[in-house]
Chain A
């Protein structure tokens, strides 16, 4: 199985600020990497697929980068609705594994 190591597990930031979350795969997954946002009590929402492609309707302040084993999700100009949990996921091979998650809190 491919292991996905996500960091940090939590971070705090201010409205208007910028944050980055990283995800490392235990083997080369090319660009088969997605990022999801989840708020309490809700299903995850797709933000980015193919490592850097923004899902339709997702604000441009979200961006993804990387390929191979190292990936980054960056959020610019943080808005109040961005404070949530974020997960990376590889879909290069089954089982399709997720990172442990990153909880973004307001400073």
Chain B
């Protein structure tokens, strides 16, 4: 059926970077694209970007273009999301989600807190 397990919560200072991992199991890793979505406290869902797990091509939302990087390690069935130049507004729960028609499998979420 499939499962996504994300890395643990992070606390970062403004200007720092954060790297969140998402390990897939239970299905063929490269068969589906992976997306990242975030949710600020009390807010809705915001799409950040997509990575093709087969070839590694990425596409990011315009607002993150210059500070977001998504990579994958196919040998470890793991996807990484790195966000740099963090601001307090980046405080949110970050989710990875498998695309299969829609987002059918989600990670449990990683809380990232940006605070001085």
Q: Residues on A close to B: CB < 8 A?
A: 34, 36, 43-46, 49-50, 53, 55, 87, 89, 91, 94-101
Query: In whole angstroms, what is the CA distance A101 to B40 when docked?
Result: 13
Q: Which residues of B contact A50 (CB under 8 A)?
A: 101-102
B27, CB-defined interface residue at 8 Å: no
A44: contacting residue among B59, B101, B103, CB under 8 A: B103
Distance of A100 Cα from B61 Cα, bound (Å) = 17
User: Bound complex: CA of A94 vs CA of B62, how far in Å?
Assistant: 10
Given contacts A44-B45, A100-B44, is CB(A95)–CB(B61) below 8 Å? yes
Distance in Å: Cβ of B70 to nearest Cβ of chain A: 13
Residues in B lying within 8 Å of A, measured CB to CB:
35, 44-47, 50, 59, 61-62, 95, 99, 101-104, 106-109
A106 and B81 CA atoms in complex are apart in Å by 37
Question: Nearest-CB distance from A77 to chain B (Å)?
Answer: 24
Chain B residue contacts of A36, Cβ below 8 A: 45, 103
29 contacts between A and B (CB under 8 A): A36-B45, A43-B106, A43-B108, A43-B109, A44-B103, A44-B106, A46-B102, A49-B101, A49-B104, A53-B101, A55-B104, A89-B102, A91-B102, A94-B47, A94-B50, A94-B59, A94-B61, A95-B47, A95-B61, A95-B62, A96-B35, A96-B47, A96-B50, A97-B47, A98-B44, A98-B45, A98-B46, A98-B47, A101-B44
Measured CB to CB, the nearest residue on chain B to A50 is B101
